[in-house]
Amino acid sequence: MVIKSRIIMVTTILVMACMVWLLGENRAYKAQYEKQQAREAELVDKYFNLRVDYDVLFDAIHFMEEEMDTILDYTHDLEMKLINKK
């Protein structure tokens, strides 16, 4: 009878130790999950900021290309006038 009660006591202690360990693991995973969620939110914010910057720069490049086309057309017209004067 004594052996049976000792086995039950040892088993109970082991089960309690496992429960405490699992609770600790659960808390650690929750902390890591929350940390990853915060990191993901930061990355999403950075993505949208980069997207806005990209759109602004793309519009600026498009404007510059139009300016360059205008300048090239103007210089072409001037070259043609110079060629026709000769």
Dihedral (Cα; 37, 42, 43, 45), 10-degree rounding = 130
- Tokens representing 41 are 């939110």
Residue 69: phi and psi, rounded to 5, are: -60, -40
Q: Roughly how many angstroms between the first and final C-alpha of the chain, as a whole number? A: 124
Mean pLDDT calculated for residue range 52-74: 96
Residue 40: per-residue pLDDT: 97
**pLDDT at residue 85 above 90?**
no
Alpha-carbon distance 26 to 34, whole Å?
12
- Average pLDDT taken over every residue of the chain: 94
Q: Label residue 72 by pLDDT band (50, 70, 90).
A: very high
**pLDDT at residue 56 above 80?**
yes
**pLDDT at residue 81 above 80?**
yes
Residue 82: per-residue pLDDT: 85
Q: Label residue 17 by pLDDT band (50, 70, 90).
A: very high
In one-letter notation, the amino acid at residue 42 is E
